[in-house]
Every structure is written in C-alpha cells, then in structure tokens.
C-alpha cells in the first residue's frame, strides 16, 4: 500500500499507557510503549507515511495534540486510556478538527468492567478497534491509511 499521505498520522496514548509491559500484563501484554511506538513508526515507513507518537497522563496534553494533528496531520489513532470513558474535552477536541480519528484499545473494553463499556469519544471517531492487543495500533494505522487514500 503506497499511501500518498503527505502529512503524518499521530498516534496518541493517554494515562498509564507509559506503564505498558509492567501494568497488568495479563490484560495489556508484555510490549512496552516504546515497542508499540517503534512498530507504528516502522509500519508508517513501510507504507509511505510518517508517524508521530505522543503519550501523556494529562488530558490537556492530549487535547493539544489533537488540535496540532488537525493543523499538521492527516489523521489520529488514539488510545485515550481511562479518558475514553470520562472526557467530554477529548470528544469536543475530536469533533473540532477536520481529520479522521480512530479510537484504539488494547483490551476488549466491552468484555471488561461495566464502567469501561461506554466510550465518550466513540461517536466523534471514524471507528473503534479494541481487543486485538497491541496489534490494534497497526490495524488502526492501516484503517486510517486506507480511508485517507480514497
């Protein structure tokens, strides 16, 4: 797939995802965030586009990067972590930019605690990928690249 994508795709990670590889490996796996980011960057390179990765435990940082992606990017793949279930600010930021955004989750949020079943951001996103472990990141990038190449 040669993309023709000229602006980078952002991969954004929310709270506690900096603990990948050590936090609940039975749910989130053994890969670290650095491993996931390296796979995303390599996937982008292989498919002809740049990937910019950011992680923060602070909601405002994620809002700022969504705004930045709206100006400088082609799209966003976001794992908002727990903010998925609580953040109207992220929903508003996603609605406020004119780039496609895919929501990602490592675990299947619909098979977990009931408070994780509802996503505040899903309605603002192009789609949602969950339950495929860290492979969901490259699935999300593939989906965005296909969508953008149409």
pLDDT at position 23? 78
Question: Which pTM does this prediction carry?
Answer: 0.93
Q: Which residue has the tokens 């795709």?
A: 9
Report the candidate in 11, 7, 100, 103 with the shortest Cα–Cα distance to residue 53. Answer: 11
Q: Provide the Cα torsion 51, 57, 58, 59; round to 10°.
A: 70
pLDDT at position 137? 98
pLDDT at position 116? 67
**Which residues are catalytically annotated?**
28, 105
Distance separating alpha carbons of residues 49 and 97, to the nearest angstrom? 20
CATH class of the region 9-148: alpha beta
Q: Which residue has the tokens 């799209």?
A: 75
Q: Provide the Cα torsion 103, 107, 112, 116; round to 10°.
A: -30
Tens place of pLDDT per residue across the chain (150 aa): 446 899 999 999 999 999 988 877 777 667 899 999 999 999 999 999 999 999 999 999 999 999 999 999 999 999 999 999 999 999 999 999 999 999 999 988 876 777 666 789 999 999 999 999 999 999 999 999 999 998
């Amino acid at each position: 797939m040669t993309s023709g994508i000229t602006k980078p795709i952002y991969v954004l990670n929310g709270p506690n995802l900096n603990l990948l590889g050590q936090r609940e490996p039975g749910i989130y796996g053994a890969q670290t965030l650095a491993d996931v980011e390296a796979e995303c960057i390599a996937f982008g390179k292989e498919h002809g586009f740049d990937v910019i990765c950011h992680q923060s435990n602070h909601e405002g940082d994620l809002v700022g990067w969504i705004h930045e992606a709206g100006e400088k990017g082609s799209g966003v793949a976001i794992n908002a972590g727990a903010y998925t279930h609580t953040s109207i600010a992220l929903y508003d930021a996603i609605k406020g930019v004119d780039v496609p955004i895919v929501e990602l989750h490592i675990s299947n949020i619909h098979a977990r605690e009931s408070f994780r079943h509802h996503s505040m951001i899903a309605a603002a996103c192009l789609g949602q990928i969950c339950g495929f472990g860290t492979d969901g990141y490259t699935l999300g990038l593939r989906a965005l690249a296909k969508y953008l190449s149409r």
